[in-house]
Amino acid sequence: MKEKWYSRLAISYSKGSNKSLYQFDPLDRLNEQSFYSTPSLGESILINGGIGKMFTKNIGMEANFSYLMGNTIGLYNYNYSSISNANTVSASTKNNQLLFLPTTIFKIDISRKLSPYVKVGLMVPLYNQSKFIYRVSDIANNANYSEYEYKIKNQLNLGINGCVGISYKINDNIRIFIEAEEDNIRSFHTEANRTKATTGGAATIDNAVLEKYIFEKSLSTNNTDASKILDFPISFNREAYTIGINYFF
Q: Which pLDDT score, from 0 to 100, does residue 233 have?
A: 60
| pLDDT of 25 over the 90 cut | no
Percent of the chain at pLDDT exceeding 70: 76
| pLDDT of 108 over the 60 cut | yes
| pLDDT of 223 over the 60 cut | no
Three state DSSP letters for the chain:
CCCEEEEEEEEEEEEECCCEEECCCCCCCCCCCCEEECCCCCCEEEEEEEEEEECCCCEEEEEEEEEEECCCEEEEEEEEECCCCEEEEEEEEEEEEEEEEEEEEEECCCCCCEEEEEEEEEEEEEEEEEEEEEEEEECCEEEEEEEEEEEEEEEECCEEEEEEEEEEECCCCEEEEEEEEEEEEEEEEEEEEEEEEEECCEECCCCCCCEEEECCCCCCCCCCCCCCCCCCCEEEEEEEEEEEEEEEC
Three state DSSP letters for 37-103:
ECCCCCCEEEEEEEEEEECCCCEEEEEEEEEEECCCEEEEEEEEECCCCEEEEEEEEEEEEEEEEEE
More confident call, 245 vs 185: 245
Q: Which pLDDT score, from 0 to 100, does residue 102 have?
A: 96
Confidence of residue 220 (pLDDT cuts 50, 70, 90): very low
Residues 128-154, mean pLDDT to the nearest whole number: 81
| pLDDT of 55 over the 90 cut | yes
Top CATH class, 4-248: mainly beta
Chain-wide mean pLDDT for the chain? 80
Backbone phi, psi, residue 21, to 5°: -75, 125
Domain ranges of the chain: 4-248
Percent of the chain at pLDDT exceeding 90: 33
Q: Which pLDDT score, from 0 to 100, does residue 31 have?
A: 76
Q: Which pLDDT score, from 0 to 100, does residue 229 have?
A: 42
Q: Which pLDDT score, from 0 to 100, does residue 58 have?
A: 94
| Alpha-carbon distances, residue 184 vs 9, 17, 93, 102 (angstroms) | 22, 10, 18, 14
What's the predicted TM-score (pTM) here? Answer: 0.77
Residues 170-183, mean pLDDT to the nearest whole number: 94
Residues 120-143, mean pLDDT to the nearest whole number: 84
